[in-house]
Amino acid sequence: MPVDAQSLHADAIIIDPVCPLLHQKDMLDVYKKGGLTAIAPTVGGWENAATTMRGLGSWVQYIRERGDAILVRSAADIEEAKRTNKIGVIFHFQGTDPLEDSLDLVDAYKSLGVGMIQLTYNVKNRVGDGCEERTDAGLSKFGLKAIARMNQARIIVDCSHTGYRTTMDAFEASSAPTVFSHANPRAVYGTPRNVLDEQIKAAAATGGLTGIVGFPPFVAADKRPTLDQFIDHISYVADLVGIDHVALGIDYFLGQSPYTPDDAAMKFYEETIASGRWTPAAYPPPPYYYPEGIGTPDQMPNLTAALVKRGFNEADIRKILGGNWMRVFRAVWGS
């Protein structure tokens, strides 16, 4: 019997664990329109602890006041969000600067609901080197201790934006499933931000996964990538390490079309290049058009339909959309 894409999308748990678009909190409604079950705003990364704590407090209040959102602390919270037609909110850091020099902050952030921490954002920090850094010396002594503390606190270790050696050190050091929340295979499209087969295999060997990202410069050379080009990355990772180790990490953000005018997007781009967090080799200038058909989160049903058309079976589509993230969440956070 053919798979009914519309019914499957409505019934599946769908997770996007990388949502910097939610720097504008009311964009949560766009994700709800797309049928997302759980999303992860970037609530920290290169800010200090004081700024990060204020941001977390703001989000906790926002979730409380909305009434149709749940702060996710366990896999069961996502199941509850699906059952009650609410949306789960997962707190995610894209970088470890909020830890400053104190590992005790790992536990403090966990108590506030932080579920996943990315080690670096392209550049060097106390933990290790980013993928855009001049060097790649691997994890520091502090970085090794930070990963041990994250494992103890049951926070997912995320190696996106992180240098090759630093990621490989992290996969070796971590005692829990470790992920690329948003990274594409370099074998499909050769940008410096994408990851090598060896890294994808190392993540899978921990029980982790690779979340496929929709940021257009990581998908294809085309200014407007197609949905098939996006799915090419999913297919490649599934063939390389198995369907259980590929998921979504789409990474919609405010600097993309249609949310930001071209002149404002260019201003943001120039400031980010000047900061050193981006380099032109990996981040060409805007405008940024996400893959055709899923240009914004409310269009996510089109992805499910395209996966059906591409020949994925129902069980595998459920894994890609959210089931594989749920497996990692249960393993790290608990049921």
Whole-number Å distance between alpha carbons of 30 and 299: 9
Asked if residues 288 and 20 have their Cβ atoms less than 8 Å apart, the reply is no
Upper half-sphere CA count for residue 9 (Cβ side, 13 Å): 19
d(CA 31, CA 27): 7
Q: Tell me if residue 37 falls in helix, strand or coil.
A: coil
Structure tokens at 110: 């966990």
Q: Peptide bond preceding 287: is omega within 30 degrees of 0, i.e. cis?
A: yes
Helices (H), 120-212: 141-153, 164-173, 197-205
Helix (H) or strand (E) holding 114: strand 114-118
What's the confidence (pLDDT) of residue 2? 80
Residue 14 in 3-state DSSP? coil
Q: In which domain, by residue range, is 34 found?
A: 5-333
Q: Where are the beta strands (DSSP E) in 207-273?
A: 210-212, 246-248
pLDDT of residue 3: 87
Q: What is the CATH number of the domain that holds 224?
A: 3.20.20.140
Distance CA 320, CA 312 (A): 10
Which of the residues in the chain have pLDDT under 50? none
DSSP-based three-state secondary structure for 329: helix
Question: What is d(CA 123, CA 128) in angstroms, rounded to the nearest whole number?
Answer: 9
Cα 152 from Cα 135, distance rounded (Å): 29
Q: How many domains does the chain have?
A: 1
- Cα–Cα distances in Å, from 256 out to 138, 253, 288? 32, 6, 5
The mean of the pLDDT values for the chain is: 97
Of 319, 290, 288, 293, the C-alpha closest to 306 is 293
The candidate with the shortest Cα–Cα distance to 178, out of 214, 142, 154, is: 154
Contacts 24+ apart (CB under 8 A), 49-57: 49/98, 49/99, 49/100, 49/102, 49/105, 51/98, 52/93, 52/98, 52/109, 53/112, 56/91, 56/109, 56/112, 56/113, 56/114
User: Which pLDDT value is given to residue 238?
Assistant: 98
* pTM, two decimal places: 0.97
Instruction: Report whether 292 contacts 26 (CB < 8 A).
Output: no
Nearest to 320 by CA among 212, 178, 161: 212
What is the structure's pLDDT at 279?
94
